[in-house]
């Protein structure tokens, strides 16, 4: 698993702090508490890689994890946390907007969503950013272990129907590791690893 080579590289608060725009990177987006850190940890097979957030909305940086050979995973700041002040939300919007517009090494977007609350407002906005650039997007419907098999299948079918050609989607669980190999395949393909 080449993702096991992931090592924390840097945290970016402003666009001018971004590492050189070379190589290939995949960005992870998701609402605060959706399970994004846990998904990153499960994919890298490393418990402590991305901090599993205890304070939602606190981590406002883009966190870079290097895989070697110019490949990176980028943990985007979580969104949708109600208590984040308006000014901070605006700053977040500017950074994310600029990142999607200018980042040439960005080759794909993973949107992590709680299987029980898929495709909320900001999730759709992230997918719109990807679509605007013609960037491939893949949705992880995580915490699938919280639903029975029948419910899981129903949500997956509904999400896939709604996404159409805009993005692919799969069930995922950091808890049971459901869907980990499938998600890794997507990342390795995008990263050409
Ligand atoms: P983030 O804010 O999106 O990075 O979310 P975290 O990864 O910190 O997870 C938020 C909470 O959901 C934590 O309490 C996790 O233990 C829990 N969680 C994350 N993934 C799963 C999962 O696949 N199954 C279950 N049951 N809980 C999960």
Q: Where are the domains of the chain?
A: 2-191
State the pLDDT confidence band at 89, using cuts at 50, 70 and 90: confident
Structural contact between residues 2 and 89, judged by C-beta atoms closer than 8 angstroms: no
Number of the ligand 1 atom closest to the C-alpha atom of 32: 2
State the pLDDT confidence band at 91, using cuts at 50, 70 and 90: confident
pLDDT tens, 20-40?
999 999 999 999 899 999 999
Write down the pTM of the prediction: 0.96
- Per-residue pLDDT for 49 more than 50? yes
Number of the ligand 1 atom closest to the C-alpha atom of 53: 8
- Ligand 1 pocket member 78 (CB < 6 A): yes
DSSP-assigned letters across all residues of 108-165: EEEEEEETTS-S-HHHHHHHHHHHHHT--EEEEEE-GGGS-HHHHHHHHHHHHHHHTT
Is this complex scored with an ipTM above 0.85? yes
Structure tokens at 156: 């997956």
- Ligand 1 pocket member 173 (CB < 6 A): yes
Per-residue model confidence (pLDDT) at position 65:
95
- Ligand 1 pocket member 113 (CB < 6 A): no
Structure tokens at 155: 């949500």
Q: What percent of the chain has pLDDT over 70?
A: 96
d(CA 45, CA 67): 13
For domain 2-191, give the CATH number: 3.40.50.300
Ligand 1 centroid – CA 113 distance (Å): 10
Pocket-testing residue among 27, 31, 38, ligand 1, by greatest number of atoms within 8 A of Cβ: 38
What is the pLDDT averaged over residues 168-191?
98
Residue nearest ligand 1's atom 26 by CA? 143
- Ligand 1 pocket member 32 (CB < 6 A): yes
- Per-residue pLDDT for 57 more than 60? no
- Ligand 1 pocket member 77 (CB < 6 A): no
């Amino acid at each position: 698993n080449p993702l096991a080579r992931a090592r924390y590289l840097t945290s970016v608060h402003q666009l001018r702090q971004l590492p050189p725009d070379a190589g290939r990177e995949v960005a992870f987006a998701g609402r605060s508490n959706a399970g994004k850190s846990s998904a990153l940890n499960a994919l890298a097979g490393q418990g402590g890689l991305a901090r599993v957030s205890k304070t939602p909305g606190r981590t406002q940086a883009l966190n870079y994890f290097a895989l070697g050979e110019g490949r990176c995973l980028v943990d985007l700041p979580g969104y949708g946390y109600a208590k984040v002040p308006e000014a901070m939300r605006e700053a977040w919007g500017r950074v994310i907007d600029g990142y999607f517009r200018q980042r040439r090494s960005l080759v794909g977007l993973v949107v992590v969503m709680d299987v029980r609350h898929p495709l909320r407002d900001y999730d759709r906005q992230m997918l719109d950013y990807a679509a605007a650039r013609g960037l491939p997007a893949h949705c992880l419907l995580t915490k699938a272990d919280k639903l029975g098999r029948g419910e899981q299948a129903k949500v997956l079918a509904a999400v896939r129907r709604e996404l159409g050609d805009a993005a692919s989607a799969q069930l995922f669980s950091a808890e049971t590791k459901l869907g980990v190999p499938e998600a890794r395949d997507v990342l390795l393909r995008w990263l050409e690893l």
